[in-house]
Amino acid sequence: MATIVQFENVGLRYGPGPETLSDLTFSLDEGAFYFLTGASGAGKTSLLKLLYLAQRPSRGAIRLFDADIVTLPRARLPGFRRRIGVVFQDFRLVPHLSAFDNIALPLRIAGVTDDQLRPPVEEMLHWVGLTDRANALPATLSGGEQQRVAIARAVIGRPELLVADEPTGNVDQEMATRLITLFEALNKLGTTIVVATHDFNLLGKVADGQMLRLEKGRLADPTGGLRYPPRHGGAG
Ligand X SMILES: Nc1ncnc2c1ncn2[C@@H]1O[C@H](COP(=O)(O)OP(=O)(O)OP(=O)(O)O)[C@@H](O)[C@H]1O
Candidates 7, 10, 19, 20: give the one binding ligand X (CB under 6 A): 20
- Determine if 42 is a binding residue for ligand X (CB under 6 A): yes
- Determine if 43 is a binding residue for ligand X (CB under 6 A): yes
Q: Among residues 10 and 124, whose Cβ is nearest to ligand X?
A: 10
Angle ∠(166,170,171) on CA atoms, nearest 5: 110
Candidates 22, 37, 46, 102: give the one binding ligand X (CB under 6 A): 46
- Determine if 37 is a binding residue for ligand X (CB under 6 A): no
Closest separation in Å from C-beta 54 to ligand X: 10
Q: CA-CA distance, 206 to 66, in Å (whole number)? A: 27
Name which of 221, 133, 149, 225 is nearest 182 in CA terms: 149
Closest separation in Å from C-beta 199 to ligand X: 11
225, amino acid identity: G
Candidates 1, 2, 16, 40: give the one binding ligand X (CB under 6 A): 40
Q: Applying CB under 6 A, what is the total number of residues that bind ligand X? A: 11
Q: Among residues 3 and 45, whose Cβ is nearest to ligand X?
A: 45
Give the rounded distance of the alpha carbon of 24 from its chain centre.
18
- The three-class DSSP label of residue 67 is strand
Binding segment toward ligand X, per CB under 6 A, in 39-47, 94-102, 112-120, 220-228: 39-47
Angle ∠(28,158,76) on CA atoms, nearest 5: 70
**β-pairing verdict for 67-68 and 59-64:** antiparallel
- Determine if 44 is a binding residue for ligand X (CB under 6 A): yes
Q: CA-CA distance, 169 to 44, in Å (whole number)? A: 14
Q: Which chain residues interact with ligand X by CB under 6 A? A: 14-15, 20, 38, 40-46
